[in-house]
Chain A
Amino acid sequence: MKQVPDEHGRFGPFGGRYVPETLMNALIELEQSYRKYQDDPEFLEEIGYLLKQYSGRETPLYYAERLTKHLGGAKIYLKREDLNHTGAHKINNAIGQGILAKRMGKQKVIAETGAGQHGVATATVAALLGMECKVFMGEEDTKRQQLNVFRMKLLGAEVVPVMSGTRTLKDACNEALRYWVSHVQDTFYILGSATGPHPYPMMVRNFQRIIGDETRRQILEAEGRLPDMLVAAVGGGSNAIGMFYPFVEDSDVRLVGVEAAGRGVDTDYHAATMTKGTKGVFQGSMSYLLQDAYGQVLPAHSISAGLDYPGIGPEHSYLKDIQRAEYYPITDQEALEALQLLSRLEGIIPALESAHAVAQVAKLAPKMKQDEVLVICLSGRGDKDVESIMAYTEGGAEL
């Protein structure tokens, strides 16, 4: 398979760099700096040290025996990204980009956040590296994720509630990009997903591939062979691409991305970009996208703030089109049920995002043979969601 992205940041027809001219030199400079340090042993050592001693990597690959028995099919492993410092895989990328920002001499960082996990990770790294940090978050999400808003403030970051558009992740991204246009000379934008203009999708993937690299080593140790299937939730798609990428050449390993179907893909309330989207340009790159016939971006909906996004990373669109990865929708209801299932059977409360992956496995695993093996990327822990889950399960809030 050919190397992607190419020198123009293209994954087949996807990706590229569709941004205002003001940002072009900043993106070119970012790409050049990244390429310069990408293989620099000192740079990698500094990141590796923090991933190990600060974030607690490597994360375990845990055999979920009770879940496996309950579903009665394939052997299920959980890649425990929820055990990272700050509670999700987002820290992998935030450390990487934070160290890069430091090398580039930038003292100020900004980030967008949906569920708040990337915002918390960025605020954490900014505190660690002594940088000024501003996090853009949709006003709607600041309500859904109050705990994370407070965590960011504790960490010394400024949280900017975004009042434009749908007041969710997509508008937080717009606002972060607009702010970056105005402050491009001294500010580094730590983008949290495998989306946006080149080089972000490539760079975020490379900082997240540690998930898949570790999984490969760990599963070979545990099972003596590669897994039959990898399953991960996709909003923008950073944990999924990090998990998938080291396995892309292994054609026997099925790659399964799980997107948010909200109230159902046949309603107007979902975030099922792959199931219902079409090709278009959004927030700096060409990819699949939820849009109307006139190219206006449609609002997304999901119980999970981290998946509530009408776009998806360009490399996922590429993997879908070349039929290397498959993508399935999971509803709010299915995700909530899976969250409770995993909590009761394994004593692990997953993030609502990750619960989508668990729900898809609940559908797929029983159809698989008992000697088959699959790995779920458990991208984050559910502490941040407990309050909103309570509203649905105890308070009778409507999905």
Chain B
Amino acid sequence: MKEAVSNNLMEQTFRRLREAGETALMPFITVGDPDPDTTVDILLQLEQAGADIVELGVPYSDPLADGPVIQRASERALVHGITIETCLETAKKARNRGVTMPFVLFTYYNPMLQMGLEQFFTLLRQADISGLIVPDLPFEESEEVLRLGDEHGILLVPLVAPTSSERISLILSRARGFVYCVSSLGVTGERSDFHKGVDDFIASVKAGTDLPVAVGFGISNGEQVQRFSRICDGTVVGSAIVRKIEDSLPLLQSKDQREQGLLQIRDFVAQLKIR
């Protein structure tokens, strides 16, 4: 088991970046928005734009932790009946098309529960998924998922929030892969202000773990990526990219302008990358 974990692609990527003194750019996209084939094409663009690790969002009918942009993306994907299986098939297709960066699956708890946790982790391993984020599965409810993740070599990445305070050390004690710091109170979505005290919060998390620390929720432009890259090991950009995809829908869905739509997304992500 130990070996399987140390061979984890995401851990390797963080190690490589740390040695090079770089931070990870970690885009989030909703799989199947607007359709699975386009997701594969977008993943290729993200990698070319310099993404280091990608979060693959499983669309869900009731995304409690998400703001309107990702809610709409979920709705668009669910029109096509996207399931966890579809998401994992999409990940495999992207691998076959040459995407090499690590995949982290972002899913609410109920869809994985309905599949059956054993089956879920088996499929994750087969699809070369490195890590797992479950936004509605707090520490207290996570024991079985963590155990199965360890057995299958899938890293259960915990979220810590500015309100976590004394829970931080508890959460860090069972963290795997990296620690995901929620930048602000609230749901996902672009914002101009972050929680005051966010720097102290991130510093306190960094002090409590040797794992990489990534920041997300609200990071939407290159300036903000720079700001947080100075104090952590990775930045997650979600809603801003999903909004870019939404804005590009007319292009993506037209035969002769599809390339242009994909390039728009690539350019947007490329300018987030610190070079």
Contact = CB atoms under 8 A, between A and B. Distances in A.
Interface of B: 60-62, 64-65, 67-68, 71, 78, 83-84, 109-115, 135-141, 158-165, 167, 171, 182, 185-187
A205 B274 CA distance: 54
B186 to A, nearest CB: 4
Interface stretch (A109-117, A127-135, A180-188, A255-263): A180-188
Contacts of A174: 62, 64
Contacts of B182: 20-22
A19 B67 CA distance: 15
Contacts of B163: 21-26, 184-185
Contact of B110 (A19, A22, A291): A291
B136 A181 contact: no
B110 A181 contact: no
Given A21-B161, A24-B164, A182-B185, A281 B113 contact: yes
A174 B62 CA distance: 7
B187 A294 contact: no
9 contacts: A20-B159, A25-B163, A164-B68, A165-B62, A170-B62, A182-B185, A182-B186, A296-B78, A297-B61
Interface string A313-329: 00000000000000000
A141 B160 CA distance: 35
Which interface residue of B61, B65, B84, B158 has the most chain A CB atoms within 10 A?
A: B61
B161 A18 contact: no
Given A17-B141, A18-B109, A18-B137, A296 B60 contact: yes
A397 interface: no
Nearest to B60: A296
A165 B62 CA distance: 8
Contact of A25 (B71, B141, B165): B165
A282 interface: yes
A165 B72 CA distance: 9
A137 B134 CA distance: 27
Given A25-B165, A178-B64, A281-B110, A164 B71 contact: yes
Contacts of A60: none
A280 B64 contact: no
B217 to A, nearest CB: 9
Contact of A295 (B65, B110, B158, B160): B110
A86 interface: no
Which of A26, A183, A281 has the largest number of chain B CB atoms within 10 A?
A281
A87 B112 CA distance: 41
B62 A181 contact: no
Interface of A: 8, 16-26, 164-165, 170, 174, 177-178, 181-185, 278, 280-284, 289, 291, 293-297
B114 to A, nearest CB: 4
Contacts, number: 115
B153 to A, nearest CB: 24
A291 B161 contact: no
A295 B115 contact: yes
A181 B187 contact: yes
Contact of B114 (A184, A284, A295): A295
Contact of B136 (A19, A293, A295): A19
A294 B114 contact: yes
B172 to A, nearest CB: 12
Nearest to A294: B83
Q: List the 10 closest A-B pairs by CB distance, nearest first.
A: A295-B114, A182-B186, A295-B111, A22-B161, A295-B110, A296-B61, A294-B83, A297-B61, A20-B65, A21-B159
A282 B61 CA distance: 10
B110 A20 contact: no
Contacts of B64: 19-20, 174, 177-178, 283
B115 A21 contact: no
Contact of B61 (A8, A165, A281): A165
Contacts of B83: 294
A280 B110 contact: yes
B187 A182 contact: yes
Nearest to A171: B62
A81 to B, nearest CB: 30
A214 B246 CA distance: 56
Given A21-B138, A183-B185, A280-B113, A297 B62 contact: yes
A297 B78 CA distance: 11
Contacts of A18: 109, 136-138, 141
A284 B65 CA distance: 12
Contact of A178 (B109, B161, B187): B187
Of residues B62, B109, B160, which shows the largest number of chain A Cβ atoms within 10 Å of its Cβ?
A: B62
Nearest to B158: A21
Contact of B140 (A8, A22, A183, A184): A8
Most A-side CB within 10 Å, residue of B68, B84, B114: B114
B186 A291 contact: no
Nearest to A25: B163
Nearest to B180: A21
A17 B136 CA distance: 9
A165 B158 CA distance: 27
A273 to B, nearest CB: 14
B138 A281 contact: no
A281 B65 contact: no
A267 to B, nearest CB: 20
A294 B74 CA distance: 14
Contacts of B164: 21-22, 24-25
B140 A17 contact: yes
Nearest to A24: B138
A22 B161 CA distance: 5
Contacts of B68: 164
Contacts of A178: 64-65, 67, 186-187
Nearest to B187: A178
A184 B185 contact: yes
Contacts of A185: 163, 185
Given A164-B68, A164-B71, A181-B186, A19 B138 contact: yes
Given A24-B164, A294-B84, A294-B111, A17 B138 contact: yes
Contacts of B67: 178
A280 B136 contact: no
